[in-house]
Chain A
Amino acid sequence: MKENREGVKGWLNPTRYGANRFAYWLQRLTGLGLLIYFIAHVIETSNIVYGKSAWEKMLAVTQTNEGHIVLMVVIGMCVFHAANGVRLYIAEHGKGIGRPGRPEYPYKPTSLGLGMKACIWVSVALAALAMMYGAYVLFGEA
């Protein structure tokens, strides 16, 4: 029997996108991006123990325009992941997901009402605002 398993293809299939799938996909993508950044950040900051010249060599690589752009993306990922994570925490506790009901056409999920959809788009907006603030701080000193 063929297994009903799509793996990453099922994850990324754009034909089934609604706001919740968009948020699901972005939460995982930003989570993976942040884990990679976290590991890299722990490794790059360890240069401090090798003295001032090692620290300054590391800064010469990371405190560049390219480094600032990477950091802006990280800021955006971090804010979206945190804001959407708080939404998921609230939903996990049964708030804002409506009451369970009989599935009736057109099968709109009560768990994704206007409030939850708004929270997803607010998370995206907050991420964009944080990226703009990050750009102001990082490039503003140049």
Chain B
Amino acid sequence: MKVHYYTGLAAIVLVAIHILFRLTVPEGYSASLEYENVIANYKNISYTLVLELILVTVAVHGFNGLRVILLELRQGDAWESAVKWLCIAGAVAIIAYGTRTIILASMM
């Protein structure tokens, strides 16, 4: 469970930074979501690093949590192996897809 607790604590800090980027725009929350503003966020290297860290920590925390719930509901070698690999595949897929967005948006 160590990985679950540490990714959880890291996610609290990182998500707080992510939300502050939406709330600290002087023109307001809606203005923070305007295309030009979001692209400017992606061009900020420090912020893209935070986004990538959020992507990895939340994906690992979320899919590990799902694995824990599914293993509480049912046990057995085949089930446990299937759940483990499905959760790893889910986490890898969402990290890859999100990383693609971060890279492409930062180059626009």
The residues of A with any CB-CB pair to B shorter than 8 Å are: 5, 7-8, 11, 28, 31-32, 34-35, 38-39, 42-43, 45-46, 48-49, 52, 55-56, 59, 63, 78, 82, 85-86, 88-89, 92, 137-138, 141
Contacts and interface: CB of A to CB of B under 8 A. Distances in A.
6 contacts: A28-B65, A38-B58, A48-B35, A82-B8, A82-B11, A92-B5
Max chain B Cβ within 10 angstroms of own Cβ: one of A49, A56, A63, A137: A49
Given A63-B30, A92-B1, A39 B94 contact: yes
A89 B11 CA distance: 14
A59 B11 CA distance: 25
Interface residues of B, number: 34
Contact of B39 (A46, A48, A63, A82): A48
A134 to B, nearest CB: 10
- Interface SS of chain A: helix, strand, loop or mixed? helix
B105 interface: yes
B8 A89 contact: yes
A42 B104 contact: no
B62 A34 contact: yes
